[in-house]
Amino acid sequence: MLFEAIEQKRQQLIHTASLHGISSAKTIKCSKELDKLIITYQKKQVKKVSSSPVYKNIG
């Protein structure tokens, strides 16, 4: 679900940038929203990997 939200926001960013330019306030806002989604996704991936039994036995 999060991956789909990222893809939708990415498409929205491309569309917004093509209409308003890459430095417009709308494009920058959309870009920041995409950044937040990507960071959330990355944090979930790190949490998944770090809770893996393989990594728990290291150290």
The CA distance from 32 to 11, in Å, is: 14
Cβ atoms within 10 Å of 47's Cβ, excluding its own: 9
Query: Do the Cβ atoms of 6 and 37 come closer than 8 Å?
Result: yes
Q: Which pLDDT belongs to residue 1? A: 92
Q: Which pLDDT belongs to residue 54? A: 64
Q: What is the CA radius of gyration of the chain?
A: 16
Domain ranges of the chain: 1-10+23-48
For 5-59, the pLDDT digits (tens) are 999 999 999 999 999 999 999 999 999 999 999 999 999 999 888 777 765 655 5
* Closest by CA position to 30, among listed 7, 13, 46: 13
